[in-house]
Amino acid sequence: MNLLLDLKIPKINDYMSSALIEKIYVSEGAELTSGSKILDFSIDLSSAFSQNCPPISYYRIVAREKVQVRQLLKAAGEYGVLDEPIALFSHDAAEPLGEVVARALRVMTAGIVHHEEMWSGR
Amino acid sequence: MTGIAPLALGPLEARGFSINRSGIQWLVPDGYVCRANEVVGYCNISVEPASGFRPARTPFADERELQVAFAPRVAGRIRFDSQSSVGGYLDNLGVQPWNATTVIAHLETDEDLEPQTPQKDRPLRLLMLAGRRMTGLADVLTGLLPGWHSRARGWWSDEGAPSQTLLNLGICDALGPVRGDRSAFLELFESLDEGHVVVVPNHPLAPCAPCLLEQFQRSASEVQAIKANITEVVLNGPVEATADDWMFVGALLGALDQSPLRASFDLLTPEGLCKSRRPSSVLLSLNAEGPSILRHKTLGYRLHVLRVYQQAAGPAVRAWMASAFEPVKRTIDTIQEDYRQLIDGAGQDGHVQFLILNRMSTSGREDISTYAPFDAPMGDTLANVASKELNLMLHDLSRERDVAIIDVDAIAAEFGGGYHIPDGVHQSGAMQAEVRAEIVRAMSRGAA
């Protein structure tokens, strides 16, 4: 049974079109459990143009199931558009990566405080 | 239609000075049906010593933007006088003497204009607008309060001095509701019978409580020490200063050198020039209280600059901020104590009411099913937990000091935060209107 899972840029609010990957906590091959931090990202509603006080907010995605990280498609500092895959996961390490994605990884999303380890905190 | 009211400029008095004005710049089309107290046009004015008069000081000397906006007292259809505007520079420069009897438009209205009422005798209200330019180079001539200001303010010029002054020291969440869509207080004054409103922007110095208190208490010798230190950094520091550095330092020195809480203000009224009282109310944003601010390693003063404005500085200033300052972490207790000291310090010379906008503390898109993955204290990581804890702190503060909470959190929940305040700070127009109404209500309660 194909059980390749993906993680996409989630729609956090109605105005967003993209997100900046601020920090990735996992590496390819890593085993995740429910509660593992996967990544932090930010949304700037002023899009690519900085304005006087950019409406930026920060979020963290945390795994809600036990999986292995198979492939990271984005790195910290890169932008992803809405619904664009960021990473692939599977329960079985031998799952072929070329298969069709069966479903989205189960995650939870939390608003977080900006911190110095973020890409924009450098 | 009940009547036609000629809209004359009405009286403005400044004994010993001449008041000149530009042509009228209309903000609405001829024939527009306006609401009562809706600003429909404006002109620029100047106040200059009359011939032969040598005053000890010239009022509004540091406020190069001085404008009068016009609002009919009652609703109706406005018809412009054909001579009211002449266009070009003559609608920008003060080329005509202010004449109270000059009629600039007529108002067709359905309302009864009873004799010997303001509606009949003085149907045009004057909203005075004044802006202190950050630099004399920022001489943008067109528009309402145009250019880059270190302070902007407005007041209804109906009779004598306004009874109350609101000093807005907030950031974006407080700035938008007060300055409104045209950035000239128009919506606020449409709902404010009288009063004087002052806004000091948050660039480059973010208005957090410890910085405001130090501005309020800083001595002349401390200002000199800061100036000497910054000048040395820009002139002889390890990183060559660019134009951005000089601009940033100029704005920063201006902010560090002045306390808006101590300021008094010139006012122009139909009865003459006068000075305003010190601020009776101060509006702050809880969002301005950063969890970490900077403290100068040798001079000890504190500095908080929003990250977006740090980026506006040049390389020399950024290097200086990184090396000459140390970060100071602030707990909720620290922030509460900073508020106490600011409120008590500002209140030493007379009572001041503080209005503080709290923080949006929920998000409909957040789906935390368990807090187990997040380390305690969760307020250090989770934005909404931090906001709830800070909001609770404000409630504690309001029990011991005269603090009115402007409950942005409740308003956002009522309106729907995802649509009306998507990033938790910047509000929609509808939500700004509600926040504005809450500010006006709090001012009224404070005045009572």
The CATH code of the domain that includes A34 is 2.40.50.100
Is A94 part of any domain? yes
Is B231 part of any domain? yes
Tokens read off for B362: 């929920």
pLDDT beneath 70, residues of chain B: 1
What residues 160-189 of chain B have any CB closer than 8 A to a CB of chain A? 171-172
Tokens 């001095």 label which residue?
Answer: B161
> Quick check: B219 contacting A, CB < 8 Å?
no
**B136 with B213, same domain?**
no
**B325 with B443, same domain?**
yes
Q: What pTM, to 2 d.p., does this model score?
A: 0.91
* B chain contacts of residue A108, beta-carbon cutoff 8 Å: 367-370
Mean local confidence (pLDDT), A90-99: 88
Residue B414, min C-alpha distance to chain A (Å): 17
State the pLDDT confidence band at A49, using cuts at 50, 70 and 90: very low
Is B187 part of any domain? no
* B chain contacts of residue A115, beta-carbon cutoff 8 Å: 381
Q: For B169-296, where are the E strands, in sequence order?
A: 196-199, 266-269, 272-275, 281-285, 292-296
State the pLDDT confidence band at A2, using cuts at 50, 70 and 90: low
Predicted confidence at residue B100, as pLDDT, reads 96
Tokens read off for B242: 């660019």
Predicted confidence at residue A72, as pLDDT, reads 97
Is the ipTM of this structure higher than 0.90?
no
> Quick check: A82 contacting B, CB < 8 Å?
no
Q: Collapse the DSSP code of B117 into the 3-class scheme (helix H, G, I; strand E, B; otherwise coil) and give the result.
A: coil
Do residue B381 and residue A62 have CB atoms under 8 angstroms apart? no
Of the two residues B289 and A49, the one the predictor is more confident about is B289
Give the CA distances from residue A88 to residues A60, A68, A73, B223, in Å, rounded to whole numbers and listed in that order: 17, 9, 8, 57
Is A120 part of any domain? no
Is B17 part of any domain? yes
Is B189 part of any domain? no
Tokens read off for A54: 């950019």
**How far is residue A32's CA from residue B2's CA, in Å, rounded to a whole number?**
77
Burial code of B422-444, b = ≥16 C-beta within 10 A, e = fewer?
bbbbbbbeebbbbbbebbbebbe
Predicted confidence at residue A50, as pLDDT, reads 46
Mean local confidence (pLDDT), A71-91: 93
Is B46 part of any domain? yes
Is A109 part of any domain? yes
Please, are residues B121 and B43 in contact by the beta-carbon 8 Å criterion?
Answer: no
Residue of A nearest to B362 (CA): A111
**How far is residue B442's CA from residue B424's CA, in Å, rounded to a whole number?**
22
The domain tally of chain B equals: 2
Is A122 part of any domain? no
- Encode pLDDT of B349-394 as tens digits: 888 999 999 999 998 778 898 898 888 899 999 999 999 999 999 9
Residue of A nearest to B361 (CA): A111
Is A36 part of any domain? yes
Is B305 part of any domain? yes
> Quick check: B351 contacting A, CB < 8 Å?
no
Predicted confidence at residue B13, as pLDDT, reads 93
- Encode pLDDT of B317-348 as tens digits: 999 999 999 999 999 999 999 999 999 999 98
Is B415 part of any domain? yes
> Quick check: A35 contacting B, CB < 8 Å?
yes
CA angle B116–B36–B6, rounded 5-degree value: 50
Q: Tell me which of B147, B169, B186 is where a domain ends.
A: B147
Please, are residues B113 and B121 in contact by the beta-carbon 8 Å criterion?
Answer: no
Of B93, B21, B14, B20, whose CA–CA distance to B59 is shortest?
B14
What residues 122-151 of chain B have any CB closer than 8 A to a CB of chain A? none
**B126 with B239, same domain?**
no
The domain tally of chain A equals: 1
How many Cβ contacts (< 8 angstroms) between chains A and B? Answer: 75
**How far is residue B179's CA from residue B309's CA, in Å, rounded to a whole number?**
21
Residue of A nearest to B418 (CA): A13
Q: What residues make up the domain containing A55?
A: 4-115
Mean pLDDT rounded to a whole number for chain A: 88
Partner residue opposite A57 with nearest CB, options B367, B380, B423: B423
Tokens read off for B7: 């809209």
- The DSSP string of A46-107 is TTTS--SS--EEEEEEEE-S-EEEEEE---TT-EEETT-EEEEEESSTT--TTSPP-EEPPE
Give the CA distances from residue B422 to residues A120, B363, B364, in Å, rounded to whole numbers and listed in that order: 20, 9, 10
Question: Would you give the DSSP letter of residue B405?
Answer: E
**How far is residue A28's CA from residue A5's CA, in Å, rounded to a whole number?**
14
Mean pLDDT rounded to a whole number for chain B: 93
Do residue A52 and residue B203 have CB atoms under 8 angstroms apart? yes
Is A121 part of any domain? no
> Quick check: B312 contacting A, CB < 8 Å?
no
* B chain contacts of residue A60, beta-carbon cutoff 8 Å: 381
* A chain contacts of residue B409, beta-carbon cutoff 8 Å: none
Residue B441, min C-alpha distance to chain A (Å): 28
Is A57 part of any domain? yes
Q: Given a cut of 60, is residue A96 above it in pLDDT?
A: yes
> Quick check: B306 contacting A, CB < 8 Å?
yes
Tokens read off for B384: 């909404």
Q: What residues make up the domain containing B356?
A: 209-447
Of the two residues B168 and A12, the one the predictor is more confident about is B168
